[in-house]
A and B are shown apart, each in its own frame.
Chain A
Amino acid sequence: MLEGISKFAIPVIFILILSIGLEKDVKVYDVFLEGAREGFTTVVKIIPPLIGLMVAIGVFRASGALDILVYILKPLGELIGLPREAIPMAILRPISGSASLALVSDIMQKNGPDSFVGRLVSVMMGSTETIVYTMTVYFGAVGISKTRHTLPAALMAELCSIISAVWVCTLLFGR
């Protein structure tokens, strides 16, 4: 049953969106192209940050600095059952979207996308957004300087979702 949801999700979403579009007389192909072009611009825009951050993460890993950081933070990770390869992800995810994108790609290249860690960082990447960036843009736009409990509450929510990601991945895919 659970496997069926992930398996049929894509075809069902295609069928649903296309039939509703046709029913509402949407020029589906023209609109598709318009949206795809927007996606194209988005991807082109993230290539420079990806280059910068992949280089930084690459150097950090190749030099052995990553091993030192992971060694220091290992006890914290063990507390919530987080494998050591995924620890840097828990730190970077709230700070930068493109940095965590680069990190997920790096982790999947080293461990394989279908390994436990590969799946886990995929879920971590998909289930929360970049807290710091969102706060900067939205609060900055209206000139709010006292953000009260926003950051701590968002970080705690992220922690909950990491714990749930570890748990769900173990349950669905095994360790």
Chain B
Amino acid sequence: MARMPRDPTRGQMKLGAFFHPTGHHVASWLHPDAQADAGTNFRHYLELAQMSEAAKFDLMFLADALAVRDGNLEALSRWPQYMAYFEPITLLSAIASQTSRIGLVATATTSYNEPYNVARKFGSLDHISGGRAGWNVVTSANLSEAFNFGREAHYEHGERYDRALEFTEVVFGLWDSWEDDAFLRDRATGRYFDPTKLHTLNHKGEHFSVRGPLNVARPPQGHPVIFQAGSSDVGRELAARTAEAVFTPQHSLDGAQEFYRDLKGRMAKYGRSPGHLKVMPGLNPIVGRTEQEAHEKHRYLQSLIHPDVGLELLSNALADFDLRPYDLDGPLPEAAFSVVPKGSTTSFRNVLRWAREEHLTIRQLYQRFAGARGQRTVIGSPTQIVDQMEEWFVKRGVDGFLIQPSHLPGGLRDFISLVIPELQERGLFRTEYEGPTLRDQLGLPRPPSRYQQ
């Protein structure tokens, strides 16, 4: 495809590496190029981090949940993603000391944490890493998590977001407890810090009462970089107000452009410039040296999905509708179309749309859904994949992507050796890091303290 005209003021594409323990594909652990015990294998993660840093990724990104997944145990025992794995902040702290440039982004929920603890952990990680921390702010809509925190139900959507908004406000306030130059360490006068540059938050809100101050110096980045993935109206509003990077899934360029315009358009009323939020949805690349090789790789991964796993996944998306009695190679039963969704309505709508419009069988449906799990999969040669990435970037559907390799480390190695050089060749991606901090890579300003504005 012909080179697309680009806006020279816009900079280059941002790329995050999103590491699900053995890889994004549900059957990834069965792949010979995957690390089967990835969840608690530190060497594995360290290798991924160091490979990604050598390839100049902006950041590595870790998801999280505060529970094992519930469901049919027979199926889960074949599909171990997020059943047993490192807690992300401890893992990223360990990686911090063995890397020097790559951003370190961890998920932490506002539903089952305390803002003071979260502010401290990310503040500490930002210090330890020399300004490379990022916090993916999520709310928990998962009953399994509620059960581990003394609740019989998860917080309703509105309450979750109210709580999240207040939580982030408290955390931002706590990070500003100390002005950047509060620590004098002046032996001549005996003053270690200047008390006038220490600020007590005195927050009293609906969900939290936090006096402060935080007992950690202001983070090197001012605030660690804030990630979010909201797609609902409330979620978008929260993102426009507080997020600096958003990775809400996008399946079509039209949809991505609409989201991009909408989100950036909402920022002005919060006094924010559109460039201060990077839109970088998930992307699952399956790359081969040729298109044919890529499709073979994909078919191989899909063939590894056990029917028990496929059905479990599909029934999760369909509000636990039990598909086991039905023929795998027949259509989705009519009854499935009338269930009431819970959790992510996006997945729910997608599955029903594929069944209705494309007449996919149950097996085809679970392969489609399981293979991508709600995120966009692109399969092809390096040129084909980069063409698509470039088009989305140039046409302002995205500022970049969170790359989710299908299996790890194999899939990451493929992306780095085949796709990154092509991106760099076209000038779409950096060949050297911009600076030492994650804000430097992402082109985000360092927020001034609220007390120094």
Q: Do A and B come from one complex?
A: no
Residues of B within 8 A of A (CB): none
